[in-house]
Structure 1
Amino acid sequence: MVNSLLSPDFIFETSWEVCNKVGGIYTVLSTRANTLQTSHKDAVFFIGPDLWLGKENPLFIELDYLYKPWKLYAATYDNLQVRIGRWNIIGEPIVILVDFTSFYQMKNEIYTDLWNKYQVDSLHAYGDYDEASMFSYAAGKVAESFYRYNMNRKDRVVYHAHEWMTGLGALYLQSAVPEIASIFTTHATSIGRSIAGNMKPLYDYLHAYNGDQMARELNMESKHSIEKQTAHHVDCFTTVSDITNLECKELLDKEADVVLKNGFEDDFVPKGKSYSTKREKARLKLLEVANKLLGTNLDDDTLFICTSGRYEFKNKGLDVFVESLNLLNHDSKLEKNIVAYITVPAGIPVPRQDLVDRLYYNDKSKEVLESPFITHWLDNMWDDRLLNMIKQLGMKNYQEDKVKVIFVPCYLDGNDGIFNLSYYDLLLGYDLTVYPSYYEPWGYTPLESVAFHIPTITTDLTGFGLWVKHARNQHGIQDGVEVIHRSDSNYPEVADKIKETILSFSVMSSEEIEHIRKRAAAVAEHALWKHFIEYYYKAYDIALRNTRKRLLKQI
């Protein structure tokens, strides 16, 4: 089938997260890059924002000799200041980072042109709209300049834009260089995320919501407008899951042409002895931090649980997770000690010195530290939603409590001052993860978990959970992934189901758990990019064919 599809000779792919690790889109692009490099060697050009001017970006390897004549031409004739190099990831694709700040002075003209051609409303813009739009415009200009200098009309070229932040550039190219086929991917509709984040019921009333009306009500008009108009005007509109496609249909009035499921690569998952060694190191660190913080003497038989991701209290299910832990702590059937880590970056965390001292000096004090729920101090601890919920539920982290909860409010980059291990290195040490999201277009965290052989609990309101439920012969946690039904109104049932699943997992034998870990890894195997890349090939084909039709109409 793939052989019958039109394939691009060159691909431009742009996102705010190119060489800029801030969210799940980074994982989408960086893990897929090697697969694209295999099929389109050095014919894929990632375009990202140059946010590291004057500083070293560890994700970017600058190479002055790459396309040096064009770089000089772009600076001289197109007012484009770019740096060219390679992304420091497996596959090392070519990257063009652009300084977009010079385009701010043209902002009004750019927005006027966008309104005249596509009726994009930028009048109500605020926050990061201007910054994203100027980058998006610059990225479009980069593709235009590069195309005119290095390519010709016989070349099949695709421009793939991710999220509303890159929509403006895709629309610019529609009129500036109509020969380039455009693809737009929304990873989460801006208005859908806003509805969910504002505590409004998204799913029960999805069919009744009017996206334009909700955008006005939630002060999201400009972001919604650029997203909607880009979806309607590009040559191929895509999203990342069936559940998000329902949002697109109802809120953007446009169903996706293709659903681009988010795959994964297991290149960096340790194998064999390396895996065992790293897992043991991670468990020792998790145990050490818990004992020093709590003044306990927990042993390796402790069950380590984790949730992680962005600090979206309701959307990521942090509230229902804490609720389930409280229920579990009061369940008389629980016999095993459980430490639940919540690794969610928040504010500007500072490693707490009392904990650092205990770890450094190997202090074996049995006295619990002050505020035994957190590893790093926060400026706004009195106003933190997680800590406040823990307090409201009456959780204490007493030594006699079977369930202890610890909030890690920092990026685990290997230099946090307490664990000093990366997120993936620490992930290896957990026994079980829980991601009970209410709003999650795909859900990389549970996919990453099973890829590292850690069974997980998630919900059918995540793209990943829905995929597992429909595509796999899935029977619950014994097969590596427990997919809990979640709706707008069953919060108590979700909390109870999480509790029951953890409880049943806690009494399983080591042989049963080893079997579950293997089943979890098998789920991840089916989500590798070698399986999911075919959806991208289909999107390229649709975009290229629609571009042909569009050009014929213009003759």
Structure 2
Amino acid sequence: MSKEAALNTEEHLLAEIAWEVCNQVGGIYTVIRSKVPTMVNKWGKNYVLVGPYAKKEASTDFEESEFEHPILKEAINNCREKGLDIRCGFWLVSGRPKTILFNYHSVFHELGNIKYYYWQDHSIDFNKHDPLLDEVLAFGYMVHLFLSELTRVALKHKVKPIAHFHEWMAASALPNLRRDQVPLQTVFTTHATLLGRYLAMNDPQFYDHLPFMDWLKEAQYFNIEANVKLERACVHGAHVFTTVSEVTGKECMHLLGRSPDLILPNGLNIERFSVLHEVQNLHHEYKQLLEQFVMGHFFQSYSFDLGKTLYFFTSGRFEYLNKGYDLTLEALARLNHRLKESNSPFTVVMFFITKQPVHSINPDVLNARAMLDKIHANSESIVEQIKQRLIRQSASSQGDHKLPNLNDMVDDYLKLRHRRIIQSWKTNELPPVVTHNLVDDEKDEILNFLRTSNLVNHRDDKVKIVYHPDFISSTNPLFGMEYNDFVRACHLGVFPSYYEPWGYTPLECLARGVAAVTSDLSGFGDYMKNVDIGDEKHGIFIVKRANKSFDESAEALCNIMLNFIQNSSRARIDMRNKSEDLSECFDWKNLYSAYEKSYIKATETLF
């Protein structure tokens, strides 16, 4: 294949199938949604997304409309005549892609036959009840019928169809399409292996043990044998098999029995993040909002210099080992010791933003924030009273124009209220490390580490912890801002993952002008080795975890954070601006070429 080879999108029709089309579940939603504008621009009318009909999401994000595209229109109508419940229209995101959603509940009565034929044709036994597998199989059944019909109609119009499946949940139609020898070219992308995620969460030496693992034995141990066999059938049924990183590629070879043909790195629609180099102004604006939370949370117990305070954070699913929370906590404990030992003037406030079962927000945390709001309101009343009286006195003064005693311009009532609010707010208790009442407080791994290491927000601690076991939104009474704005308010994102097939969070930091730490075991961190400007000057820090002990990696992460703190304010501002430039390398406009190569490779594959 020559470097100049390009796909004629007028002669092909691309259907991209994913469980997270118009259905936000995890990271693939970001992949599909952010890629849409580039795909629509490249493919025009011959691009369509296919996903499950999720009523709640579809009610707000989907606009039903019949297609005028002759091939899609005929294929959909033919399938409807066969009894399939198909919704077509537009996904209301940038690019407004044509979207087809299948109501898989409408074919649940076929599940017995679907499972029987899977056992007969592919030796996969679905005898154990699994609600998710039922949904996956029903969806795959509908996709199989639709793509078979779409292929027949497309070839009649002399258009060659390509189907790109993302993850095993969306690709259960693939093995049957190959069995039936449907003349459809297929690409399958795995964003993470199902078995790999289970193993990494339970084996601290996962990567060392990976070459020696028996995939079937391990799948049976975790009670996911049918799921893993289905995933393997999808991988081996595709004409072209791809994954998102070299790290995951090695995992696929050992656990799925096939090495990827191509690597398709994940990107972002950078235009959504672009603020025309206003990153520093936005950082300052949102940092002031974050400081309101910090004052409410900490200053009732003691204060520290906000001018010398840096805000670090990590976020994502609660996977204590996989996400590197264990390594982050150990490095923070070491950082706290070293900052105290050197009598550093700096304070670090570290936020853990994740999702855990909770009863409610801690009433004390809510009350502290509410009391700070009262201080604000009373202070504004005092300022307004002083302002009015000062203007009046200044205008009427005859001789002496000195500034009067401003304290005399405040009514005793406001002074008394001010003292009472402050007195009722102040406490000798330590600021809580967790903002919510957890359902299982005693077994929470983050809290247990903090208690064991005595990193519990003592007055003399240089590293303060805020563990927020819920995602941030503008309706959150503690922060009062969107998650994206919270990220812009911070100085450093910390994501030293142990198991992360790609990892969007550090990339999203860079796109918002925030420096980020990743690891060489994450797909994103591994890919950074191929990026010329993927260095610390451009805001990306890579912790080496491959072939390193936990202790070595923790010390390396501690050093990264310490060096970041010791940077000058000017250096951090330069880094903030340059990180935007680095994020441009991951614009879908630049990364689409890898996808095009996979489609070209699929069209060159003989049946």
100-109 or 1-10, which deviates more: 1-10
Question: Out of 431, 446, 471, which is 2:506 matched to?
Answer: 446
**Residue matched to 2:570:** 511
SS at match of 1:4: coil
Q: Give the equivalent residue in structure 2 for 1:251.
A: 255
Q: CA deviation at 1:489?
A: 5.8
Q: 1:369 to 1:101 in 2, by over 3 A?
A: farther
Give the distance between the partners of 2:439 and 2:78, measured in 1 at CA: 45
Distance 1:328 1:83, change over 3 A: same
Please give the alpha-carbon distance, in whole angstroms, between the structure 2 residues aligned to 1:428 and 1:479.
16
2:136 is paired with a residue of what secondary structure?
helix
Corresponding residue SS for 2:475: coil
Q: Per-residue deviation at 1:12?
A: 1.1
Q: C-alpha separation between the residues in 2 aligned to 1:151 and 1:352?
A: 62
Partners of 1:85 and 1:274 lie apart in 2 by: 37
* Amino acid of the structure 2 residue aligned with 1:520: S
Structure 2 residue 135 is the aligned partner of structure 1 residue 131 = yes
Instruction: Give the greater-gyration-radius structure (CA).
Output: 2
The 1:90–1:388 alpha-carbon spacing in structure 2 relative to 1, beyond 3 Å, is same
- After superposing the two structures, state which structure 1 stretch, 71-80 or 517-526, moved more: 71-80
Q: Which residue matches 1:102?
A: 106
Deviation of 1:147 (Å): 4.7
Could you tell which deviates more after superposition, 268-277 or 23-32? 268-277
Residues of 1 paired with 2:593 and 2:238: CA distance?
20
Which whole-Å deviations, capped at 9, do the CAs of 1:400-452 have from their partners, x for residues lacking one? 21111111222224323322322212111111111010000111111111111
Alignment of 1:370-519 (within 5 A): 372-472=432-532, 474-475=534-535, 477-487=536-546, 490-519=549-578
State the match for 1:38 in structure 2. 41
Q: Which of 339, 349, 356 matches 1:346?
A: 356
CA gap of 1:280–1:51, structure 2 versus 1, over 3 A, is same
Distance 1:274 1:472 in 2: 25
What is the deviation of 1:246?
0.4
- How far apart in 1 are the matches of 2:526 and 2:491? 23
> In 1, Cα distance between the equivalents of 2:314 and 2:474?
18
* 252-261 vs 414-423, greater mean Cα deviation: 414-423
1-side partners of 2:233 and 2:325: how far apart? 33
CA distance in 2, matches of 1:356, 1:70: 57
Q: Which moved more, 1:281-290 or 1:506-515?
A: 281-290
- CA distance in 2 between counterparts of 1:371 and 1:107 reads 54
Map 1:226-245 → 2, pairs under 5 A: 226-245=230-249
The 2-side partners of 1:346 and 1:7 are apart by 48
State whether structure 2 residue 330 is matched by structure 1 residue 329.
no
Which one-letter code corresponds to 1:157 in the other structure?
P
Distance 1:516 1:399, change over 3 A: same
Report the CA distance shift for 1:141/1:459 in structure 2 as closer, same or farther (over 3 A).
same
In the alignment, the residues of structure 2 paired with residue 369 and residue 70 of structure 1 have an alpha-carbon distance, to the nearest angstrom, of 69
| One-letter amino acid of the counterpart of residue 297, structure 1 | S
**Distance verdict in 2 for CA 1:281–1:356, change over 3 Å:** farther
Q: After superposing the two structures, state which structure 1 stretch, 143-152 or 418-427, moved more.
A: 143-152
1:144–1:176 contact (8 Å) kept in structure 2? no
Once the two structures are overlaid, the 10-residue window that deviates more, 157-166 or 238-247, is 157-166
Separation in 1, partners of 2:548, 2:484: 34
Instruction: Kindly state the Cα deviation for residue 387 of structure 1 after the two structures are TM-superposed.
Output: 1.8
1:417 to 1:144, Cα distance in 2 relative to 1, 3 A: farther
Offset of 1:363 from its aligned partner?
Answer: 4.7
Distance 2:260 2:170 in 1: 17
1:80 and 1:70 map into 2 onto residues whose CA distance is: 14
List gaps (5 residues or longer) in structure 2: 376-424
Is residue 2:28 matched to residue 1:25?
yes
Query: Which segment is superposed worse, 340-349 or 498-507?
Result: 340-349
- TM-score using structure 1 length: 0.91
Q: What are the Cα deviations for residues 316-362 of structure 1, in whole angstroms up to 9, with x where unaligned? A: 00111111111111112343110001111222563444433443451
Count of residue pairs brought into register by the alignment: 546
The residue aligned with 1:11 is 14
1 CA distance for matches of 2:201 and 2:446?
16
CA shift at 1:79, angstroms? 2.2
Task: Quote how far apart the aligned CAs of 1:268 are.
Answer: 1.7
Q: What CA distance in whole angstroms lies between the structure 2 residues aligned with 1:82 and 1:369?
A: 59
Shift of 1:191: 1.2
Matches within 5 A, 1:194-213: 194-213=198-217
Deviation at 1:279, TM superposition (A): 2.2
- Change in CA separation of 1:376 and 1:284 when aligned onto 2, cut-off 3 Å: farther
* Cα distance in 1, alignment partners of residues 117 and 131 from structure 2: 21
Match of 2:117, SS? helix
1:320 aligns with 2:323: no
- TM-score under structure 2 length normalisation: 0.84
C-alpha contact (below 8 Å) 1:285/1:419 kept by paired residues = yes
Question: Conserved in 2, the CA contact under 8 Å of 1:7 and 1:156?
Answer: no
The Cα shift of 1:474 comes to: 4.7
Contact persistence 2:297–2:369 (CA under 8 A) = no
Q: CA 1:92 to 1:499, structure 2 compared with 1: closer, same or farther past 3 Å?
A: same
The answer to whether the 8 A contact 1:125-1:223 is kept is no
How far has the Cα of 1:473 moved from its partner?
Answer: 5.0
Change (3 A) 1:258 1:349: farther
**Offset at residue 541 of structure 1 (A):** 1.1
SS at match of 1:421: coil
Does the C-alpha gap of structure 1 residues 440 and 56 become closer, same or farther in structure 2, counting only changes over 3 Å?
closer
* Greater shift in the superposed pair: 412-421 or 238-247: 412-421
1:124, CA displacement in angstroms? 5.0
Using the TM superposition, give the Cα deviation of residue 384 of structure 1 relative to its aligned residue in structure 2, in angstroms: 2.1
| Corresponding position: 1:297 with 2:303 | yes
1:9-29 Cα deviation digits (max 9, x unpaired) = 211111111112221111111
Q: Compared with structure 1, are the counterparts of its residues 56 and 442 closer, same or farther at alpha carbon in structure 2 (3 Å cutoff)?
A: closer
Deviation at 1:129, TM superposition (A): 2.2
Match of 1:51 among 54, 65, 87: 54
Name stretches of at least 5 consecutive residues in structure 1 with no aligned partner. Answer: 551-555
Aligned to 2:291: 287
The structure whose residues are more often helix, as a share, is 2
Partners of 2:496 and 2:138 in 1: how far apart? 36
The corresponding residue for 1:553 is: none
- Given that 2:279 and 2:576 are in contact with CA atoms closer than 8 Å, whether structure 1 keeps it comes out as no
What is the letter of the counterpart of residue 198 of structure 2? Answer: S
Alpha carbons of 1:134 and 1:348: their partners in 2 closer, same or farther (altered >3 Å)?
A: farther
**1:143/1:503 Cα in 2 relative to 1: closer, same or farther (>3 Å)?**
same
**What's the offset of the Cα at 1:522?**
2.6
